[in-house]
Structure 1
Amino acid sequence: MDNSSYSPRERRRLYKDPDRGKICGVCAGIAEYLGLEVWVVRIIAVSLLIFVNGAVLVAYIVMCFVLDPKPGHVSNRGCFGSERKRRKPSESDDSRPYRPTVKDVWSSGTSPKDLFSQVEDKFSVIEKKLQKMESYVTSNKFNLDQEFKKMAD
Structure 2
Amino acid sequence: MKYKYQGDFKQKKKQGWALNLYRNTQKGYIGGVCAGLADHFDIDTWVVRLAVFGGFLFLGGFTVMAYIGLWVFLDPKPDYEDIEYEYDERHHTYRPKKMFKYAESASARLHKAKDKLNTIAASVTNMERHVTSRKFDLNRQFSDLKDD
Instruction: Please tell me the TM-score bracket, short chain as reference.
Output: 0.3 to 0.5
The structure richer in strand per residue is 2
Larger radius of gyration: 2
- Structure 2-normalised TM-score? 0.40
- Structure 1-normalised TM-score? 0.39
